[in-house]
């Protein structure tokens, strides 16, 4: 049972010569508060009383922190009233780390069970990476890689936390495989696109930029009525979607030129534009990428006023190549995230 108590913790401000006493409501963790523990750690509003020896194993960062000589008679971590504070940490993540450090045999076996939620293992790997538990992290990363290779995950698994860990830990093989899974689920619509947008926009690297542009693009195809009915989208998200949607439609409807290899440039341009307009593409108007791919693969041309399947003329082939190059040169990330695009 968790016990609510009031603790007073000492926090030194940056550059401050004195400590501030901050009263904080906290509660003892129901599992990881051991009577014989010798270090008290505060995470969020939860107190953990654990064993220094357990935390200091595997050459972790805690080895350095906890082995330093105490500067005062009553050092941080010595009691509930003066705990060691882990800033910018979540109870969920720290509890996952302690779970594997204190794990019983049946709990280790359960982690290898294909039914175990991948996100639970990600928490372990991410915490182990953060605090320098090298062997523990390698073990958890191996479990994750095996699960992905064997496709042992839930049907609705979104893989966002796993991708975040793989990028953070620079595990390129795992990152590449999980990135493909995220992009495929984004394209197929099997993932919550609003969640992807919220998650990816908080990150700043090329991998998450690609995920974000993919999520925006796929959500744009659903149309304005769908965005406006989504309460999880913020005003800026809907603005980005609207700007991107209109730009995609405009590009599709706009004219373009290419270096003709025929004798009648005007007639050639008109007939090719007509072919693009009446090609029976089944997707939405804003699906610029899908439309270009469809046109390239379908082989529809106009013959005697009718749409038929036939090889493109040499000049129309050059036009199609030009169109595809123009479309694929668009920076979708900037298109959806830069309101001045």
Which range is most confident: 69-83, 231-245, 250-264, 292-306? 231-245
12 sits in which H/E element: strand 4-12
Confidence category of residue 253, pLDDT binned at 50, 70, 90? confident
137-195 pLDDT tens trace: 999 999 999 999 999 888 888 899 999 999 999 999 999 999 999 999 999 989 999 99
pLDDT value, residue 305: 54
pLDDT value, residue 142: 96
Please state, rounded to an integer, the average pLDDT across all residues of the chain.
85
pLDDT value, residue 144: 96
Tokens at 340, concatenated:
């001045």
Distance of alpha carbon 35 from alpha carbon 12, whole angstroms: 28
Distance of alpha carbon 40 from alpha carbon 1, whole angstroms: 17
Distance of alpha carbon 2 from alpha carbon 17, whole angstroms: 36
Distance of alpha carbon 60 from alpha carbon 282, whole angstroms: 56
Q: Is the pLDDT of residue 329 over 80?
A: yes
**What CA–CA distances, in Å, run from 60 to 67, 125, 126?**
11, 13, 13
SS3 218: helix
Q: Is the pLDDT of residue 11 over 90?
A: no
pLDDT value, residue 174: 96
Identify the weakest region by mean pLDDT among 15-29, 115-129, 200-214: 15-29
Question: Structural domain boundaries of the chain?
Answer: 1-88, 244-337
Q: Is the pLDDT of residue 297 over 50?
A: yes
Confidence category of residue 281, pLDDT binned at 50, 70, 90? confident
Identify the weakest region by mean pLDDT among 57-71, 107-121, 229-243, 283-297: 57-71
Confidence category of residue 22, pLDDT binned at 50, 70, 90? very low
- CA-wise closest residue to 190 among 152, 159, 144: 159
Q: Is the pLDDT of residue 13 over 80?
A: no
Distance of alpha carbon 202 from alpha carbon 249, whole angstroms: 28
- CA-wise closest residue to 85 among 141, 30, 24, 1: 24
Distance of alpha carbon 258 from alpha carbon 102, whole angstroms: 67
More confident residue, 306 or 167: 167
pLDDT value, residue 6: 33
* Average pLDDT of the segment spanning 210-214: 96
């Amino acid at each position: 049972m968790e016990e609510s108590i009031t603790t007073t913790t000492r926090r030194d401000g940056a550059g401050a010569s004195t400590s501030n006493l901050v009263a904080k409501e906290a509660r003892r963790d129901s599992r990881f508060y051991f009577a014989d523990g010798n270090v008290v750690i505060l995470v969020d509003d939860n107190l953990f009383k654990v064993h220094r020896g357990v935390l200091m194993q595997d050459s972790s960062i805690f080895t350095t922190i906890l082995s330093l000589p105490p500067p005062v008679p009553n050092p941080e971590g010595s009691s509930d009233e003066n705990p060691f504070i882990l800033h910018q940490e979540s109870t969920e993540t720290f509890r996952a780390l302690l779970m594997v450090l204190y794990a019983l045999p049946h709990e280790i076996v359960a982690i290898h069970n294909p039914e175990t939620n991948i996100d639970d293992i990600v928490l372990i790997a991410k915490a182990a990476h953060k605090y320098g538990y090298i062997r523990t992290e390698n073990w958890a990363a191996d479990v994750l890689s095996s699960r992905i290779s064997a496709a042992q995950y839930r049907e609705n698994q979104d893989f966002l936390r796993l991708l975040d860990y793989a990028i953070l830990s620079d595990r390129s093989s795992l990152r590449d495989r999980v990135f493909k899974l995220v992009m495929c689920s984004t394209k197929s619509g099997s993932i919550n696109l609003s969640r992807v947008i919220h998650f990816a926009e908080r990150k700043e690297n090329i991998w998450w930029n690609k995920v974000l542009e993919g999520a925006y693009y796929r959500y744009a195809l659903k149309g304005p009525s769908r965005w406006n009915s989504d309460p999880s989208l913020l005003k800026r998200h809907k603005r980005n979607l609207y700007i991107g949607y209109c730009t995609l439609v405009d590009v599709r409807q706009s004219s373009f030129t290419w270096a003709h290899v025929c004798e009648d440039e005007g007639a050639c341009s008109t007939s090719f534009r007509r072919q693009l307009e009446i090609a029976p593409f089944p997707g939405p108007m804003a699906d610029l990428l899908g439309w270009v791919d469809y046109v390239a693969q379908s082989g529809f041309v106009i013959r005697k006023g009718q749409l038929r399947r036939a090889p493109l003329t040499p000049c129309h082939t050059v036009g199609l190549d030009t169109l595809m190059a123009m479309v694929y040169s668009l920076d979708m990330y900037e298109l959806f995230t830069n309101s001045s695009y």
